[in-house]
Structure 1
Amino acid sequence: MSERLGPYELLSRLGAGGFGEVHLALDAEGRTVAVKVLHPHVAADGLALARLAREVETMRRVGGPHVAEVLDASLEGSRPYLVTRYVQGRPLSAVPVPVAGLGPLASGLADALLAMHESGVVHRDLKPANVMMSEDGPVVIDFGIASALDSLSVTASGAVVGTPGYLAPEILEGGAAGVEADVFSFGATLAFAATGRQPYGQGPASAVAYRVVHHPPDLDGVPDWLAPLLRECLSTDPAARPTAAQICARLGVAPVSHAPQSGPQPSAAAARPRPADDMSTREWRPGAEGHRRSVEESRARHREKVRRRWLIGSGLFVSLLAAAAREPLPEVALFLLAAYALGVVSDAGVALFSRGPHRRARMIVDLASVAGAVGMCFGLAAVFSTFTLALFAGTALVVGIVFLLSA
């Protein structure tokens, strides 16, 4: 049974990370989104939530085809959560490597890096597990969360802020996480995609971290067109690494608009223009009543669409059967038409006494479907032979059964 969290209907658990569980969910308009529910120990950290509240407003400005935009957030209450665009696909860490389409992957990640850095967002935890491989190319998820929640109490509670092997050496040595750290993670992620190996090997986190700081990366097998760029990205000196714009230029990535894509709008208050220095927003969601009405209307429209399709499909099938039986078995043809008409008229009677806003349109559709089925029966019987109609009816029956089973 599905669970509700604010205006969202949680459908299934997609996975979990250091900061929360991710759920596939439906928004008020019936569109799929990803809802990240923060772990209790994170939700109990007031400092972490305050930092995340300040960062979410900036994160919402990041958009583009290669980032999973932040669409909504509720950071108050017992279960704080973030809502992002749902990306259908598998993480880079779970696909066969080396990756065949290395060029599009590199270009897409470079574009995502530029989109984040142009908006003032540092990912802090870019790694293969946070790169979703969709049909439209790579999409970076969870940007900005690790950076915003990097507080002593959260880290002490068990969340690993960053991943050794993809975390920049200056962070491992206690330095600040800037955009240069994301460039290092970009290089390590592409090195894994190009070779199928961790660029700094495997083993205990402490051993991997030591190699990141003191040893060069393993880039054997990286194509010649990419290896020089990755060496610069994986430099231990942050100042020697290229910027996201320079990476895009070297990879030939054309500039694109990084405005957030269309999706569920958090609220009218969040949609209004704000001063650039206004970072006080803590929550973006309409009133509960408005969302409930939207959900009910969306479901009512969906039910009406399904009902009309059923009326049309069943009317066509009944008219075929009745036309095929009209000459050899006229009583059967009459029974089929009468049964269909009785069922549809009963549905029209229910609509007559309902309080729905579209009951008149529903009654008209019901009566029109009965008239259409009767008219089509006589029309088909006048044009086609009994054998042809029986063949059509049998084919329609088989196709209908196959469709129902596949659905």
Structure 2
Amino acid sequence: MLGRLDDELEDSAPERRFIVRRGDGDTLIARLPRPDTDPTRWAVEAEGARRLSVPGFLPVGEVGGGAAELPWCTAPYVPALPLPAALRAHGGPLPGPVVRALGAALARTLATAHAQGVAHAGLSPAAVLLTTDGPRLSCFGAVRAAAPDGVRRSGLPGLDSGSLAPEQAAGGSPAAPGDVYALGAVLAYAATGHTVPEREELPDFLREPVTACLSRDPARRPQAHRLVALEDGPMPLPAPVVVALARQSAGLLAAELPLPADRTAP
């Protein structure tokens, strides 16, 4: 293990994510279930993610583990910051053009998944990884990996309660409208720093789409493909976020430097 993808003080991700180096030298993102998640359900979702091909989802390579150990899965490593870490690096909410592009990219990803009959069922600020090539969605199936009774009693482990659609918080099955609700919460978070803002806190361009996404009635929420028009073009990452990504990459290179011949590892 070379480090954590998530801040050590950050406990909002529905799964644990680490940067690791395999014996053959490949660098990967390793994902494991949280201690308060059903590992069997999580393993089923990891295997399901491995079989998917949705641009914008963090791809799953290997899936491992068994009855005697925790399940795990891997993804190719690219420098990435979870959305909460990106806001910390930037010193607050992201600029409007970034939020616009982020919304369009996430809506496009969800629309592709929904067209295949797949709900992400785990979208939250911590599930969004920002990279120089655009956002990637991690934590696939986090809602499905939690027992419905657990969701009703205490909320989904690691998932910001503001990102969970009311029908799912009540134990309902995850579906596309729940993803759209979560998308609204993520965009509200990116623009204001929290997932349940007052309408007046939202920038003008987000008020209508976010309010519609956060409707308590699933039938009143827009379909994801109708939100793609928020912005066209690449996502312009703020300079502090680019610097944080560069530092992560540089730290990884330093961690991978071989020791001199006359020294041994501690």
Query: So what's the TM-score if we normalise by structure 1?
Result: 0.48
User: What's the secondary structure of 1:103's corresponding residue?
Assistant: helix
Query: Aligned pair 1:22/2:17, yes or no?
Result: yes
Q: Deviations over 1:97-126 (max 9, x none)?
A: 321222221122212222433344333332
Q: CA RMSD in A?
A: 3.2
Q: 1:158 to 1:36 in 2, by over 3 A?
A: farther
User: What's the secondary structure of 1:225's corresponding residue?
Assistant: helix
How many pairs are equivalent? 222
Structure-1 residue corresponding to 2:58: 68
Asked if 2 retains the 8 angstrom alpha-carbon contact of 1:92 and 1:128, the reply is: yes
Asked if 1 retains the 8 angstrom alpha-carbon contact of 2:32 and 2:70, the reply is: yes
Q: Deviations over 1:227-262 (max 9, x none)?
A: 2111211111101111122222x33659xxxxxxxx
Give, in whole Å, the separation in 1 of the partners of 2:127 and 2:36: 22
Structure-2 residue corresponding to 1:183: 180
Asked if 1 retains the 8 angstrom alpha-carbon contact of 2:47 and 2:63, the reply is: no
Moved over 4 A (4+): 16-20, 39-42, 152-159
The residue type paired with residue 233 of structure 1 is C
Structure-1 residue corresponding to 2:31: 36
Give, in whole Å, the separation in 2 of the partners of 1:152 and 1:236: 19
Structure-1 residue corresponding to 2:190: 193
Give, in whole Å, the separation in 1 of the partners of 2:138 and 2:42: 16
Asked if 1 retains the 8 angstrom alpha-carbon contact of 2:13 and 2:127, the reply is: no
The residue type paired with residue 251 of structure 1 is L
Asked if 1 retains the 8 angstrom alpha-carbon contact of 2:155 and 2:161, the reply is: no
Structure-1 residue corresponding to 2:71: 80
Structure-2 residue corresponding to 1:151: 147
Query: Aligned pair 1:90/2:87, yes or no?
Result: no
The residue type paired with residue 20 of structure 2 is A
Structure-1 residue corresponding to 2:261: none
The residue type paired with residue 144 of structure 2 is A
Query: Aligned pair 1:232/2:216, yes or no?
Result: no
Equivalent residues in 2 for 1:7-406 (5 A)? 10-15=1-6, 20-27=15-22, 29-39=24-34, 42=37, 48-49=39-40, 51-60=41-50, 61-64=52-55, 66-76=56-66, 77-94=68-85, 95=87, 96=90, 97-100=92-95, 101-144=98-141, 146-151=142-147, 160=157, 162-200=159-197, 218-248=198-228, 250-251=229-230
Structure-2 residue corresponding to 1:281: none
Asked if 2 retains the 8 angstrom alpha-carbon contact of 1:58 and 1:120, the reply is: no
Q: Deviation at 1:149? A: 1.4
Give, in whole Å, the separation in 1 of the partners of 2:43 and 2:195: 34
- Structure 1 residue runs of 5 or longer lacking an equivalent are 1-9, 201-217, 255-301, 304-407
Asked if 2 retains the 8 angstrom alpha-carbon contact of 1:104 and 1:137, the reply is: no
Asked if 2 retains the 8 angstrom alpha-carbon contact of 1:194 and 1:222, the reply is: yes
- Structure 2 residue runs of 5 or longer lacking an equivalent are 234-256, 259-266
Give, in whole Å, the separation in 1 of the partners of 2:191 and 2:34: 34
Give, in whole Å, the separation in 2 of the partners of 1:87 and 1:112: 18
Give, in whole Å, the separation in 2 of the partners of 1:166 and 1:253: 25
Structure-2 residue corresponding to 1:206: none
Q: 1:177 to 1:148 in 2, by over 3 A?
A: closer
User: What's the secondary structure of 2:70's corresponding residue?
Assistant: coil
Give, in whole Å, the separation in 2 of the partners of 1:163 and 1:148: 15
Give, in whole Å, the separation in 2 of the partners of 1:26 and 1:99: 32
- Structure richer in helix, relative to its length: 1
Q: Deviations over 1:130-151 (max 9, x none)?
A: 212222222222122x133122
